[in-house]
Amino acid sequence: MLDLGLREWWAICQGLSQGAICAVARKGGIHEHRGGLFRLQHRRFALIPALEHQAPERLLPALRAHHPIPIPPPGQLLLSAWAEVRAHWLLRRREEVDQLAALPGIQGLSQQELHSRFTYRGEEWLSLVLLQASVWRQPPPLGDHPAYGGCRSWIPLQAPLPIADSAPVLPAQQLEQAQRTLSQHFGDSQDMPE
């Protein structure tokens, strides 16, 4: 069961659930703990699509097809996938952000958006999280709730979501290759959350 969600742009959630990308680049949101900065705290979570701030020019062209954003039924959120962290890196140099932007099929943000996040709040770093996304055959219903709003990453769910009746999007070999590629560019993965 999942009792936590990661709030992420709709197009990024769709890219993960369709296998177009396998990682997210995170820095934080204005309502984040620790002064608005992201911290990888959890290993498994639902992908909660966020509608705020997503704009086509902030995405790679391949993910712009996920714009415009569909309107969910009243009082519901549109879920399709959950994810498990496979590895993560902390990028601390602009050159690393440029390298990430040049890698196809890894993440879905434009180079300009990556640099904007890298320098967010005057601190130069970016968290890159490799994920194994799994899609539900029949997504569980998730009613919208005021606690799910705001510009923050981690959302405690009002009711736990099952992970049964779901299947990984990408084969293990493809994720292992992505991890090898990322490790060649950015070194060993950071310590993993429990």
Of 59-68, 128-137, 173-182, the range with the lowest mean pLDDT is 59-68
Confidence of residue 67 (pLDDT cuts 50, 70, 90): low
Nearest-Å Rg of the Cα atoms of the chain is 16
Confidence of residue 75 (pLDDT cuts 50, 70, 90): confident
- The dihedrals phi and psi of 31, each to the nearest 5 degrees, come to -100, 15
Which token pair is 45?
A: 């979570």
CATH code where residue 76 lies: 2.30.130.30
Number of domains the chain is built from: 1
CA diameter of the chain: 45
Which DSSP category does 50 fall into? E
Mean pLDDT for the chain overall: 89
Confidence of residue 76 (pLDDT cuts 50, 70, 90): confident
In this structure, is residue 31 part of a structural domain?
yes
Which token pair is 73?
A: 């039924």
What is the rounded CA–CA span in Å between residue 85 and residue 193? 9
Decide: 102 and 184 in contact? Cβ < 8 Å.
no
Q: Which residues are within 8 A (CB) of 22 and not within 5 positions of it... i.e. 6 or more apart?
A: 16, 105, 106, 130, 131, 132, 133, 170, 174, 175, 178
In this structure, is residue 194 part of a structural domain?
no
Q: Which of 91, 86, 54 is nearest to 69 (CA)?
A: 54
What is the rounded CA–CA span in Å between residue 47 and residue 139? 11
In this structure, is residue 193 part of a structural domain?
no
Which residues span the domain enclosing 118? 2-186
In this structure, is residue 192 part of a structural domain?
no
What is the rounded CA–CA span in Å between residue 48 and residue 145? 12
Q: Which of 106, 120, 110, 130 is nearest to 38 (CA)?
A: 120
Q: Which of 189, 190, 151, 155 is nearest to 28 (CA)?
A: 151
pLDDT of residue 34: 59
In this structure, is residue 174 part of a structural domain?
yes
pLDDT of residue 43: 94
Q: What angle do CA 183, 189, 194 make, to 5 degrees?
A: 150
In this structure, is residue 191 part of a structural domain?
no
- Environment class of residue 7 by beta-carbon count within 10 Å: exposed (0-12), middle (13-18) or buried (19+)? buried
pLDDT, tens only, 13-35: 999 999 999 999 998 765 666 55
Which token pair is 162?
A: 């099952």
In this structure, is residue 119 part of a structural domain?
yes
Helix (H, G, I), strand (E, B) or coil at 121: helix
pTM, rounded to two decimals: 0.92
What is the rounded CA–CA span in Å between residue 101 and residue 98? 5
Of 89-93, 145-149, 190-194, the range with the lowest mean pLDDT is 190-194
In this structure, is residue 164 part of a structural domain?
yes
